[in-house]
Amino acid sequence: MGNEGTPKTLIMFIDTHTHLYDEQLNDDDIQRAIDADVSKMYMPNCDSSTIEGMLRIANKWSNNCFPMMGLHPCYVKDNYLAELGIVEQYLSKHKFYAVGEIGLDYYWDMTHVRQQAVAFETQIDWALQYDLPIVIHSRESTHDCIDIVRKKQNGHLKGIFHCFSGSVEQAKQVVDLGLYLGIGGVVTYKKTNLPDIIREVGLQHIVLETDAPYLAPVPHRGKRNESSYIPIIAAKVAESLGINIEEVAQTTTRNAEAIFSN
């Protein structure tokens, strides 16, 4: 009898947030991710200029890459009502897996903060209407994003605080509202509270993401990020919790599938 060795453990990861249509990325990046056991990748939209590229990838890689629809807060400008009209039109006619990425951004520009809030609330209403999860961008605005979600939560709203960067207390509030924390490459950085947050809220409340091509994990920090780096993020989460990477893969994949189950 031949010695076939120990069977390989089947691991599957999901990247819940990756801008695969970005000009820095291409089909090779998608294939590398699949080869690294990242079998599903969810793409957030930015504005009308990113829809065509996103849908092209979703059509070409229909078993692996899945589109969201939304107006990113950094793209909320004077023409935001027209942009929202395009979002609404696409949501009514095409299959999407979430409304995102949506939210508030107080880091880059405060010029359109009021309009950002209107766009955020409007898109949450559409998510509820179409029974879709939301994927929230909350840079320097976690408190206000939580307040808006709390106001809108009617027992049916689900989703992710993408690239969570708040406090332990805010993380608990997000979890109490029934949403998940998106954990990416920042968890590998020296100056981050994310390991503490993960230990506090538990693996059952987080999902993995890259935000590719941004925020690459150590040892690639400062370089172009890609979805194949999800196992690096998962390994750091496993280390933070004192568990094996297989458990991180299994639980975060189950969490992501529960969110995007529609």
pLDDT in tens, 187-228: 999 999 999 999 999 999 999 999 999 999 999 999 999 999
- Of the chain, the percentage scoring pLDDT greater than 70 comes to 96
- The single residue listed with the structure tokens 């809108």 is 152
**Other C-beta atoms within 10 Å of 172: how many?**
15
Centroid of chain to Cα 55: 17
Distance CA 140, CA 122 (A): 21
Phi, psi (rounded to 5 degrees) for 90: -65, -40
Distance CA 169, CA 147 (A): 14
The answer to whether 251 and 228 have CB atoms below 8 angstroms apart is: no
Model confidence at 231: pLDDT above 90: yes
Going by pLDDT thresholds of 50, 70 and 90, the confidence category of residue 140 is very high
Length of the chain: 262
Distance CA 103, CA 141 (A): 9
* pTM of full prediction above 0.85: yes
Domains detected in the chain = 13-259 (3.20.20.140)
